[in-house]
Structure 1
Amino acid sequence: MLRVDVAMADTTNIEGFKALERFGRDSAKATGSQFLGFLLDSFDLTMILSIAPVVAAVLLPPSSPLIAVFSVILAYSLTIIFRPVGSAIFGHIGDRLGRRTDLIITVLGLGIVSALTSALPTYASVGILSFVLFIIIRIFVGIFAGGEYSAGHPFVMEWTPFRWRGLISGLVQGGFSFGALAAAATVAVFTHIYGETGLVSYAWRYLFLTTLIPAAIALAIRLSMKDTPIFTELKEKNKIRRSPFIDLFKKPVRKDFLQVMIWMTGMFFYAYALFAYVPTILEHAPSAWSSNLGLATTVYTIGTAGAFFGAFGFGIASQKVGRRKLTLIWAIMTIIISVPMYYGLMRAAELGNVPLAVLMSIIIGIVTQGPWGIVPVYLSERFKTAVRASGVGFGYSSGIFIGGWFSIYVPLMHNYLFKSIDTSTNIWFSTAVLLMIGAIIIFIGQWIGPETLGTRLRSVE
């Protein structure tokens, strides 16, 4: 029997709910819209990390290459830190005015602000002001990105029939990994065409203009859609809450939010263990490719393909095994294999062994990004309709409060705890420890939470 939130006799939105009995055109549009929105978010972030040495050379004074790269990663981290602001603002809008309205605003803002990076002046022309402006842009990118998934995840999940939820959740979340893959591939192509000298000189500007492509397509899809039947019913029955964001911190929702925050903290540790530090490991000695940005980027690009399939497969499996059970098993497995994975990557790079480095990069991508495949569905199932955009958005972003400072944790571990294990310029072991800490936090977060498989999304309070 198909378990979906279908029409009932008392609904004033019968036709809308009939559309949820099958995966139809509206479901496909919502999926494509959020896939592209999440792709854009990752595309922008991954581009920053993939060309961190180039950004450092353009916007910062000459200094130690590793310190300069850490400075760029810190700016990236500040972008992440401001996501909760966007989640609070746009989650509130999504619960008050609607998911679709919210998404039109966020994709416009995210695309335009990200593309503005291409207009930045260089350090050579205005000094440190160039990096200050870069940080300001990153802050606004973070605000719009925080709003993007606040309404986006509920939007797609509320348009998805029950039996498709795990698959669509994994596919949508895989859009983030696919965006990383697309960005890394774009960087590789630009590096091949213009060379590293050309990138530093001028081609980095063209790179950031490419963010307008997915933004334009996502905007076109969203303009052609209507809001979800579930939110429409809430509005028709006059059940819109006056302060949905504030309600997250009141009983009975507060307990759910705190559990989600713990889980998401560990999830962000997982994410950065791939997106922030796999490129760093590949680009710094003893890696044989420390002077070959193109080859290091290629290896990382292939690894992000593993991340996409990891999230997609995890989402599908969760529909059979259960969101909670699968995550608990995965966390234990991660703790066991973290150090061997990153040691294998570092050694493969040191030996210049491309096949082995690609294999290890793929494994790291699958392990670190697999659990992200249930984020859209799990968070949507944890919060009722009237506070869902606020709960999903701020719950997602709440993991940043502790997890977002990874750009400080890893250097501290590298410099003060594990320098005898790490090499002088490579942070492979510190990254492995970051991932293990994330796995422990994820285990705790899921252990204290419920199994959500089978939860009805249609709830009019």
Structure 2
Amino acid sequence: MAKKEEIGKNLEKDGPASFGKDTAKAVGSQFLGFLLDAYDLTMILTIAPVLAVVLLPPSSPLLAAFSVILAYSLTIIFRPVGSAIFGHFGDKLGRRTDLIITVLGLGVTSALTAALPTYAQVGILSFILFVIIRIGVGIFAGGEYAAGHPFAMEWTPYKWRGLMSGLVQGGFSFGAALAAAVLALFISIFGQKALEIYAWRYLFLTALIPAVIALAVRLFMRDTPIFSNLKANNKIRKSPFTDLFRKPYRRDFFQVMLYMTGMFFFAYALFAFVPTILEHKPSVFPLGTADDIYTISTIAAFFGALSFGALSQIVGRRKLTLIWAIATAIIAIPIYYMLMYGATIDSVAIAMIAGIIIGVITQGPWGIIPIYLSERFKASMRSSGVGFGYSSGIFLGGWFSIYVPLMHEYLFKSIDTPTNIWFSTAVLLLIGAIIVGIGQYLGPETLGEGLSE
């Protein structure tokens, strides 16, 4: 305990000595930015059956839903592009400038979905335009966490970093829960038929609300003292992004890449496929009930990330993640069986309990990502390292929408049932837990690392 207290005292000069207005604005700003990212994602994934009707020709419901999810997955690969661009400028020009641009871009491109023509109006062009908009969302989303995570962490006092990391990352789960709750409200007001005809447009326009709030907060922020000191001392790197791939930093980058690959398997085992499992036979739940269960799951995910982040400040980032990865690998298949069993026998209680546990185990480890990645890279290359390190997990982890259908079709169809993918999703999570464990094992413990250059 004495050693940890000494570390905390030594790091007080590494950031604000106390939790003040600047910390609150920085953390609140990134919470809202990440909320907006998840809000958009959840709108796509939870109403995939509706978008399939609107944007695609008639086909198998499960195949059509997969097509919408695949379109989202394809555009995820553009997040590293956004991370590379905005990460570079975040290290060259400052975190704050980046954040104003990214939240504007993210809000506007997400809301543009509401203006899409339907398949009945323009044919397959409607789906092509949808993919183009997803590309724009992906680029700005990749830039959002490149500057936002370092900004929030550099403004946070040492002893608060684990908790605030969990809160910032929890904004993603909170955004998912908010989107699912808004969808439930729209279903209750308009009904599913009206949602398919016109109300889906209003749904996407609601993305402008968190974007406007986040922009208002960011306009009144100032850049972090750590970045200001870099600038004052002429320590701005000429090529912060490409420095990631030079010695001695490239080993750190590739360790982070491996770790983040597993983390993306974790994430989409919840966000992409829990709604799909609950919405397709043998599940007997209507769309509204499935959405309610998913909403509660994402609320649990928020508290999982918050708790994990706070606990990491005591236990350590590395040790806690290794324990969690082992536990997740053990329960992955049983907990998804429980979810499917509850949905099959029309037991909301059983499915709800399973959904809550899935939310916590898949999203809890994300609670350390803002601080862990910030601690892994030097201040002069932090936006590039955090942004591209985060996004690098997408190169392999972002193709979840291909892995699960392939496993379903060629390996586990008899276990899944022809119309559902619960077992294939459980295997995705199991593989993710193994990769996360290996990735963290190969890296150092970062608790106690300073954030100054």
TM-score normalised by the shorter chain: which range applies?
over 0.9
1:204-253 Cα offsets, whole Å, 9 max, x none, are 00000010011111111110010000000000001101110000000111
Q: 2:262·2:431 contact (CA, 8 Å) conserved in 1?
A: yes
Question: Match of 2:369?
Answer: 375
Question: Match of 1:445?
Answer: 439
Q: 1:3·1:163 contact (CA, 8 Å) conserved in 2?
A: no
> Could you tell me which of 295, 299, 316 is aligned with 1:305?
299
CA distance in 2, matches of 1:448, 1:153: 23
CA distance in 1, matches of 2:257, 2:135: 21
> Could you tell me which of 87, 99, 113 is aligned with 1:117?
113
Q: 2:91·2:382 contact (CA, 8 Å) conserved in 1?
A: yes
Question: Match of 1:244?
Answer: 240
Q: 1:157·1:165 contact (CA, 8 Å) conserved in 2?
A: yes
CA distance in 2, matches of 1:230, 1:78: 36
The percent of aligned pairs where both chains have the same amino acid is: 73
> Could you tell me which of 376, 379, 388 is aligned with 1:385?
379
Q: 1:4 Cα shift?
A: 6.0
Q: The residue matched to 1:172 in structure 2 has which SS?
A: helix
Q: 1:81 Cα shift?
A: 1.1
Q: 1:3·1:454 contact (CA, 8 Å) conserved in 2?
A: no
1:78 aligned to 2:55? no
Q: 1:4·1:161 contact (CA, 8 Å) conserved in 2?
A: no
Q: 1:41·1:176 contact (CA, 8 Å) conserved in 2?
A: yes
> Could you tell me which of 119, 142, 146 is aligned with 1:146?
142
* Amino acid across the alignment from 2:66: F
* Amino acid across the alignment from 2:146: S
Q: 1:4·1:162 contact (CA, 8 Å) conserved in 2?
A: no
* Amino acid across the alignment from 2:370: P
Measured at CA, do residues 298 and 59 of structure 1 come closer, stay the same or move farther in structure 2, by a change above 3 Å? same
Q: 1:4·1:21 contact (CA, 8 Å) conserved in 2?
A: no
Q: The residue matched to 1:21 in structure 2 has which SS?
A: coil
1:33 aligned to 2:29? yes
Written as runs of structure 1 = structure 2, the 5 A alignment for 1:298-377 is 298-377=292-371
* TM-score normalized with structure 1 length: 0.96
1:416 aligned to 2:382? no
Question: Match of 2:179?
Answer: 183
Question: Match of 1:264?
Answer: 260
CA distance in 1, matches of 2:179, 2:193: 19
1:64 aligned to 2:55? no
Written as runs of structure 1 = structure 2, the 5 A alignment for 1:123-272 is 123-272=119-268
Structure 1 residues without counterparts, runs of 5 or longer: 9-16
CA distance in 1, matches of 2:17, 2:310: 19
Q: 2:12·2:158 contact (CA, 8 Å) conserved in 1?
A: no
CA distance in 1, matches of 2:171, 2:13: 30
CA RMSD, 1 decimal: 0.9
CA distance in 2, matches of 1:449, 1:191: 46
CA distance in 2, matches of 1:253, 1:192: 52
CA distance in 2, matches of 1:125, 1:437: 42
Q: 1:110·1:144 contact (CA, 8 Å) conserved in 2?
A: yes
* TM-score normalized with structure 2 length: 0.98
CA distance in 1, matches of 2:9, 2:354: 39
Q: 1:377 Cα shift?
A: 0.4
Question: Match of 1:398?
Answer: 392
* Amino acid across the alignment from 1:262: L
CA distance in 2, matches of 1:206, 1:358: 28
* Amino acid across the alignment from 1:402: L
Q: 1:3 Cα shift?
A: 3.5
CA distance in 2, matches of 1:178, 1:156: 17
CA distance in 1, matches of 2:64, 2:420: 14
* Amino acid across the alignment from 1:330: W
* Amino acid across the alignment from 2:235: K
CA distance in 2, matches of 1:192, 1:296: 14
